Amino acid sequence: MTKEELLKEMDQMRKSMKRLQKSEASCKEAADLFRKREQEYREMVELANSIILRMDTSGRIVFVNDFALRFFGFSKEEIVGKNLIGTIVPKMESSGRDLAAFMVSVCRNPGEHTVNENENIKKDGSRVWILWTNRPVLDERGRLAEIICIGNDVTQKKEAEQILQNAHDELEKEVRERTKKLQKLNEDLLFEMAERKISEEALKESENRYRNIVESAFEGIFQTTLEGKCTMVNSALVALLGYSSAEEYIAATARPENLYVDASRREELIRILQTDGYVKGFETEFYRKDGSKLPVSMNVRAVFDDRGNFIYYQGTVIDISAGITLRRVLDETTGALSTAVEIRDPYTAGHQERVTRLAEAIAAEMNFSDERISAVHTAGMLHDIGKIYVPAEFLSRPGKITDNEYNILKQHAQEGYEILKSIEYKYPIAEIVYQHHERINGSGYPRKLSGDRILIEARIISVADVVEAMASPRPYRPALGIDKALDEIRKNRGILYDENVVDACLTLFQDKGFQFGGGGGGIRCNGGKGAAKEPVRFSRLERNHFQGTAVNFLAELHSHLLDG
């Protein structure tokens, strides 16, 4: 090789070297750019507010972004490598669609499922709806290698669509039902028009007869709308409330609060009517025209047409102010009779009143109505009235009584029944008094009744009677105290005494602080334990006269109350 040829070869080698150096620099620059783009891609995937995952053709998850992990509640270790089915996709959709078969189709032919919407599950088991966009990833030979899936939560949208669909279905159903009703109404209307022509004269005659009956009635009669506006009133009610005409009454009482002293009573009346359709003996107060208050009793019923549509409320009104006065006198007379018993038995002075207080409290604790609590009150105040027939010396003599004296004393329950049986109370007061010494297991007296054969009111007074008697002194022993009294009913709960009554009584004393207090009316025992006060004594003639007068007066008072 000549010198020139060698120089030429070296020059070519230098040029090749420069080209290689330039190519290496370009490759390095390309590699740096690739790494930069790869990092940007990763950051974009990780920061995206969408679910991004890759899965192979068998449905196995090979990658998930952080958003997907947070959304589904899994860690990367818990989800990567697992199949979608049973992890984030349920086997069956709530609608019944087979999602396992569907996902097999997606993995095999992602091009046919570029967009799909299906139910998914989170780690906690809750279900959500995801809108997925799927793209196939091919290897260097053009074969399917993976599928990239991007998902967004559309649960709220699906729920809104379902609500809208339900509303649409309900509206269609309502339209169909309404159409049927309108068709029936149209048929009924045509039928009514034909009937009306036939019955018009008969209706006029009937209306005239009805109007004459209403106007001649002694009690007030009215009709009102559901809202309480009066549409008809007779002259008796107009006069009762001091108005000069039906028109004046209707205008003045257009708003219920202008008629009802306590507006809540009308709300209670409507509640009962809507439940039962009628109400009898509903007591409230009305305003009269001059502003005074009038206690009234109402019988009201809801009136419907032949198709069951509400028309109006119709009712009667009577003045019960005299009856209320009589009831007040009756309560005072009941108290007086109770005191008459206690005058003859100073050791049990206040006993009936204290028993009554406890019995009322037990009844209230057992959620009795006001009327039943009132019955318990009356029976409690009179439960020992039969002792009027027991010789006073048996009641107040210190020391243990004889068996014969005890047998006489036990007759007071029956004697009380005999005194009260002819009085027509609303509740069986006489029978309650008769039963107040009966026991659940049949060991009581005078008839050895047991279980549910004993009236619940008698069971209440029985417990109250025992507790008060043990907690108070007697001629033959000092007071045993309230703790022993409560131990007695607790020990014999369900044996001698009704379980529910005992539970209510224990609740009153142990949880609600019930106390008998100072003792109420009547003569109290004074001095030391067991000290007795000389009883008031009556001659047999005085006793019989007093008893007959009191009982006859009570019966006569009840007769007036019933008649009124």
pLDDT band at 337; cut points 50, 70, 90:
low
The region of weakest confidence among 8-22, 234-248, 521-535 is 521-535
Residue ranges covered by each domain of the chain: 46-153, 156-216, 218-319, 324-563
Q: What string of H, E and C letters represents the secondary structure of 236-248?
A: HHHHHCCCCCHHH
Per-residue pLDDT reduced to its tens digit, 481-490: 999 999 999 9
Range with the lowest mean pLDDT among 11-15, 351-355, 495-499, 551-555? 551-555
Q: Is 125 left (phi over 0), alpha (psi -120 to 50) or beta?
A: left
| pLDDT for 453 | 95
Given this structure, which CATH class describes domain 46-153? alpha beta
Q: What is the pLDDT of residue 332?
A: 65
pLDDT exceeds cutoff 70 at 115 = yes
Least trusted range by pLDDT, from 168-172, 365-369, 503-507: 168-172
Spatial separation of the C-alpha atoms in residues 471 and 490, rounded to whole Å: 15
Instruction: Yes or no: say if 504 and 362 are a contact pair by the CB < 8 Å rule.
Output: yes
For residues 288 and 302, give the distance between their C-alpha atoms in angstroms, rounded to a whole number: 25
* Nearest-angstrom CA–CA distance, 133 and 117: 9
The dihedrals phi and psi of 59, each to the nearest 5 degrees, come to: 90, 10
CATH entry 3.40.50.2000 includes domain 218-319: no
Q: What percent of the chain has pLDDT over 90?
A: 41
Give pLDDT tens digits for 364-397.
999 999 889 989 998 998 888 887 777 666 666 6
Strand order of the β-sheet with 115-121 is: 61-64, 51-56, 144-153, 127-138, 115-121
Task: Please tell us whether the domain made up of 324-563 is placed in CATH 3.30.160.270.
Answer: no
46-153 and 218-319 share one fold: yes
Residue 17 Cα distances to 3, 22, 28, 31, 75, angstroms: 21, 9, 17, 21, 53
The yes-or-no verdict on residue 261 having pLDDT over 60 is yes
Whether residue 409 has pLDDT greater than 50: yes
* DSSP H helical ranges for 411-455: 412-420, 429-435
User: For residues 99 and 109, is the Cβ–Cβ distance under 8 A?
Assistant: no
pLDDT in tens, 428-467: 999 999 999 999 999 999 999 999 999 999 999 999 999 9
pLDDT value of position 95? 87
Res. 292 pLDDT band, cuts 50 70 90: very high
Residues 6+ apart with CB under 8 A from 380: 352, 355, 356, 359, 360, 461, 464
Tokens of 91: 């086997």
pTM of the complete model: 0.44
